Amino acid sequence: MFISEAFAQAAPAATASGDSVFGSIGGMLPILLMFVVLYFVMIRPQMKRQKEHKAMIDALAKGDEVVIAGGVLGKVTKMGDSYLSVEVAPNVEIQVQRASVVQVLPKGTFK
């Protein structure tokens, strides 16, 4: 009636040239580029910060003035393998994990 019949067209024959290999690599190139950029922007700096934090934790000594993760300032009085005793006020000591130390302050900052 009003609509004519539609016939499927034959697909073009596939060629066995080098273009298909480059097409598959070229299609993955943006994804690979994103992973490279992600590594240099996010992963590598995070690994560097972790390495610096571990070095700081390993260098802690008795008498160091530190900031704990909650923002508490104190002086290291006792040291264990995984815990520290930190004096936050005269005759007030708290025990914290070594990893919770955020920063080592210069001597004389905490009184």
Give residue-wise pLDDT tens across range 42-66: 999 999 999 999 999 999 999 999 9
Nearest to 74 by CA among 55, 58, 90: 90
Number of folded domains that form the chain: 2
pLDDT at 43: 92
The dihedral through the CA atoms of 16, 22, 27, 31 has a sign that is positive
51 found inside a domain:
yes
Cβ neighbours around 56 below 10 Å, total: 16
Query: Which residue is it, tokens 């080098």?
Result: 18
Mean pLDDT of the chain: 87
Domain boundary (25, 43, 59) is at 59
Residues 67 and 106 in one domain: yes
35 found inside a domain:
yes
Residues 45 and 81 in one domain: no
Alpha carbon separation from 57 to 10, 29, 34, 49, 105 (Å, rounded): 70, 41, 34, 12, 13
Residues 55 and 95 in one domain: no
Residues 40 and 79 in one domain: no
Residues 55 and 98 in one domain: no
For residue 59, count CB atoms less than 10 angstroms from its CB and return exposed for 0-12, middle for 13-18, buried for 19 or more: exposed
Residues 55 and 76 in one domain: no
Residues 47 and 27 in one domain: yes
Ranges of residues in the chain with a pLDDT under 50 are none
Residues 55 and 87 in one domain: no
| Residue 66 main-chain phi, psi, to 5 deg | -130, 160
4 found inside a domain:
no
**Domain boundaries, position 76:** 62-111
